[in-house]
Structure 1
Amino acid sequence: MKSILSLVLLIFLSATAFSQTTVRIITKDRTNGDPVSRVFIRQYQGDSMVKAQYTNLKGVAYFTVSTKEATHFEMEHIAFSPLEDIPTKIYSGKPTDTLTLQVRMYYLKERMLDQVVIKPIGVPDTIFESSRVSVTDFEFLPDNNLLLLTYPKNLKKGTELVLYDGFDLLGEIPLPEKGKELIRDYRGNPHVVTEKNVFGITETNKRIQIAQIEKDYYMTYIAPIVDTSHTKYYFSNFNPNYPAFDYFTFDMVDSTYRKIAKVQDDLMMELYRSEFKWVDVRTKLWAKEKENETGIDKEIWVGMYYFTNSVYYKELYAPIFERNDSIFLFDHYKNLLFKYSYQGDLIDSIPIYYHLQAKENGWKKDLIQDYETGEIYIHYELAGKAQLRHFNTTTGKLSSPVQLHFKYPENIQIKGNSVYYIYRPFESTQKKYLYRERLPFEFKSQKTNKGTLVEMAKP
């Protein structure tokens, strides 16, 4: 348990004093006078933090303070908290270049926590339940809190954002428009998508705040960026109505673009372009006019407006993931996993087969990355039962299937070797709850992407 208290130290010196002075902070236990070590102290000059350090074994820390503006300190300790009656003005005879501030600390009383039950592997644990609202989407926040997109009766009646720490509701706010889904940009910042706008979401002092962003601007300039690594941005020109797209890198140092991969379904592209042969003359003339006007091939115009509406057209799915400065591109149309360095250089490739015969094996055209460990899982569904199989990016092998407890779970996400999903029993009056199940894996945390990479190259 942590306690933070801002201590304001106003230093008044005469015109003959130095422009800087040294402040010695001594932290002691008020009950016995013993020094309190490892107190984390942050020094702020104006609105900017200028230094942060721990007290030593003697409970002492030194700071250099400018006398031209007010200085304040924030103190933090896992077991102690400072008293409020702290002196703010200290003199030792006449003004000197060293001022001493003695802070008495008190031991935090014990606090009884709610009972924590750890469920065994394969047994669902209810993370969020409510008799008033249902969960339709959720996102993990950097401070381990959950951001929930909820609705009281149905989505048409309005949606709400809920901030939840796993035990208590920290904040909630109704949305001005019907929320469709939660996404994260390439920096990991959460956003809620509505029919007309995108709203950026911030968390301040356990409160949710939203800011409107034009949807066209977000989808054109922010959504295509799927990740960043050091000085490079990774983005795609994915279009759901075209059976090919490219992945690029943009170097912020020299402002250069580089194409690192091209994804294309050759059979779908052949059918896409051949649609031009079967349309009527009037449509061919229209496509030719569009070609003259834009420079885009007439066959592409016909394919985009006609073939994409047929049952034969399938949108491309070739996501990329980042883990420990390595980029993984799953090209399901070349049947290969390509491995790149963070600079965009191709390192290796291995064959993949899990996506073949999807109707028979139940592949849901869905790859899921663990937010913490960076491990990748393949999502299958057979007879309503969802299954997850871990994919080894070194060997290309799959683990044994891990079957989830409930049928037809929604919005499956994985974090810290546990799977999270939304579920409501069939023909039940229960609201949609958020559940969690432990997976039979113990992978360690690794550096992963911040943004919603999969969604940028997924229908």
Structure 2
Amino acid sequence: MRLRYAAWGLCLTVLPLSAQTSVIELLVLDSLEGTPLEAVSVAWTDGTRAMAQLTDPHGRCAIAWPGSGPLELRLARAGYRPRSMGLDPDDARGRRPFTVYLAALELPAVEVVRKPEVVFERPDLHAADLLINDDGIWVLAYEHPRLLRAEVDAGKEILRGVRLVLLDTNFREWASCPLPEDVLGLRRDLRNTALVEGVSRAFAIHRAGDHLELEPFGLEDLRSKVLPWTDSIGGRILGNNSDGVMPAFDHLAYDPVNDTTRVVCTVMDTFMMALFRSEYRQLRGPEKVLAMNLASELGVDEETVAGYMSGFQHNIWFKPVYAPLFVAGDTLLVFDHASARLRKFTRGLVETASVPLPYLAEQGGRYRPMRIIQDRADGKLFALFQHNGIQWVRPIDPVSGALGLRVRLTFRYPERTQVYGGHVYYVYRPVESLQKRTIYRERL
């Protein structure tokens, strides 16, 4: 008899608890397409226990909630943004099923590009410099740099044990030859012919059958008679008289038939010129007298002489004038960065137009191009930028000076970057790597 009463007491205590249990039916849908989502993890806490359930193929699940307060649900599924929400069981019972939407997780756009193509890689030699022309790809390969150098050569890369290599269009070594002395790098003349600058001599290169021959000539001839002349148009040879000291120079056009020279235009950094000429005020009395005597002999003013006497090019404030000249079809283009203008000239050397250079004003001039480079294969112009070791190239519209879409190079801190035939070439070696310096190329 006592056992019967005990059983009835147990039933009376269970029934009220069962009466308080709420069954919540959930339907989880995609917020964009409205389709049911399967295998969505629905988690909640029942007292001190963590509970979880997955939705079925129809996006449904049923939750038995014994409590009377609000229910905290956490929904998660791969490819969707996780969602946390509070749910009142009394409200949920009135809507069967209770619909919940999950938003798809959108990943940021990623640019997919081809892996950089290896142009030159040797297990025994580093690639130091390259130059591309109609002959192929010229490469200076070396064993190691010269570590001991004179003070005047500080900052220069002097190469020792150098070999000149010519690659064909399939990047195969067509010919090579050793260089008889330490080398500074490859240079080009106005016809885009490859030359080599050594520490005591320069070398012209001749192809003789399947091998290369070197013809030495003077360094002074290279620096004063070859390198200043960069291109030609209408029978005239184009160059400049920049000396790297005075913050002004002239672009020149030399007519070899008549042996005459005309000034295309003069470029000058007015602010830097004011600093250059102000050096005269810093000279002592005897130095000013010497400057005046030299100015009288040379036919210039004493302030210009004082700028040279003081070694202004070594001043911390000094920046050389950058205003390269390029031939684009039948037009001469001068990128005058000092005045922030793109100046245009006809074949007859007459200035026809001038437009602002937009890239000098973009983002307040924060990212200025390292230099302007030209694809010698098709004449297109590009601006080369670098920030935190990342380099990118942007094409330049020769009419408006506007920049096109940027092409970012894969590796950080590339060297010797140049463009030819719709590809960008550069030298790169991974940091703290045993790999030799290698030449890569990427399509623009």
**Same fold, judged at TM 0.5 (above):** yes
Deviates more, 1:230-239 or 1:351-360: 351-360
Matches within 5 A, 1:86-125: 121-125=113-117
Q: Deviations over 1:326-369 (max 9, x none)?
A: 21111111211111222322222211132358996332431111
Matches within 5 A, 1:52-71: none
Count of aligned pairs:
319
CA pair 275-337 structure 1, distance change in 2 beyond 3 A: same
Aligned counterparts of 1:316 and 1:341: Cα–Cα separation in 2 = 23
Alignment partner, residue 173 of structure 1: 177
Alignment partner, residue 126 of structure 1: 118
Alignment partner, residue 154 of structure 1: 145
Q: Which amino acid aligns with 1:327?
A: L
Aligned counterparts of 1:175 and 1:364: Cα–Cα separation in 2 = 34
TM-score by length of 1: 0.66
Following TM superposition, by how much is the alpha carbon of 1:397 offset from its aligned partner in structure 2, in angstroms? 1.5
Alignment partner, residue 370 of structure 1: 375
Matches within 5 A, 1:387-402: 387-402=392-407
Aligned counterparts of 1:359 and 1:382: Cα–Cα separation in 2 = 15
Aligned counterparts of 1:358 and 1:216: Cα–Cα separation in 2 = 42
Alignment partner, residue 316 of structure 1: 321
Aligned counterparts of 2:366 and 2:442: Cα–Cα separation in 1 = 23
Alignment partner, residue 278 of structure 1: 282
Aligned counterparts of 1:396 and 1:424: Cα–Cα separation in 2 = 34
Aligned counterparts of 1:200 and 1:356: Cα–Cα separation in 2 = 42
SS of the aligned residue for 1:406 comes to coil
SS of the aligned residue for 1:285 comes to helix
SS of the aligned residue for 1:372 comes to coil
SS of the aligned residue for 1:157 comes to strand
Does structure 2 retain, via aligned residues, the 8 Å contact 1:190–1:200? yes
SS of the aligned residue for 2:295 comes to helix
Q: Deviations over 1:265-299 (max 9, x none)?
A: 01111110011102222322332232233333322
CA pair 397-364 structure 1, distance change in 2 beyond 3 A: closer
Does structure 1 retain, via aligned residues, the 8 Å contact 2:358–2:402? no
CA pair 423-391 structure 1, distance change in 2 beyond 3 A: same
Aligned counterparts of 2:202 and 2:347: Cα–Cα separation in 1 = 29
SS of the aligned residue for 2:359 comes to coil
Q: Which amino acid aligns with 1:129?
A: E
Does structure 2 retain, via aligned residues, the 8 Å contact 1:355–1:365? no
SS of the aligned residue for 1:159 comes to strand
Does structure 2 retain, via aligned residues, the 8 Å contact 1:124–1:436? yes
Alignment partner, residue 29 of structure 1: none
| Structure with the bigger percentage of helix | 2
Given the alignment of the two structures, is residue 302 of structure 1 paired with residue 293 of structure 2, yes or no?
no
Following TM superposition, by how much is the alpha carbon of 1:417 offset from its aligned partner in structure 2, in angstroms? 1.3
CA pair 274-203 structure 1, distance change in 2 beyond 3 A: same
CA pair 416-157 structure 1, distance change in 2 beyond 3 A: closer
Which blocks of at least 5 consecutive residues in structure 2 are unaligned? 1-111, 147-158
Alignment partner, residue 351 of structure 2: 346
Following TM superposition, by how much is the alpha carbon of 1:231 offset from its aligned partner in structure 2, in angstroms? 1.7
Does structure 2 retain, via aligned residues, the 8 Å contact 1:361–1:380? no
CA pair 220-348 structure 1, distance change in 2 beyond 3 A: same
Which blocks of at least 5 consecutive residues in structure 1 are unaligned? 1-119, 440-459
Following TM superposition, by how much is the alpha carbon of 1:253 offset from its aligned partner in structure 2, in angstroms? 4.1
Aligned counterparts of 1:314 and 1:418: Cα–Cα separation in 2 = 31
Q: Say which of 359, 380, 384 aligns to 2:389.
A: 384
Q: Percent sequence identity over matched residues? A: 30
Following TM superposition, by how much is the alpha carbon of 1:251 offset from its aligned partner in structure 2, in angstroms? 2.6
Aligned counterparts of 2:247 and 2:173: Cα–Cα separation in 1 = 44
CA pair 433-225 structure 1, distance change in 2 beyond 3 A: same
Alignment partner, residue 20 of structure 2: none
Aligned counterparts of 2:166 and 2:372: Cα–Cα separation in 1 = 27
Given the alignment of the two structures, is residue 135 of structure 1 paired with residue 139 of structure 2, yes or no?
no
Aligned counterparts of 1:340 and 1:176: Cα–Cα separation in 2 = 43
Q: Say which of 192, 196, 200 aligns to 1:196.
A: 200
Following TM superposition, by how much is the alpha carbon of 1:406 offset from its aligned partner in structure 2, in angstroms? 0.2
Alignment partner, residue 34 of structure 1: none
Q: How large is the RMSD of aligned CA atoms in angstroms?
A: 2.0
Q: Deviations over 1:190-215 (max 9, x none)?
A: 11112222111122223111111111
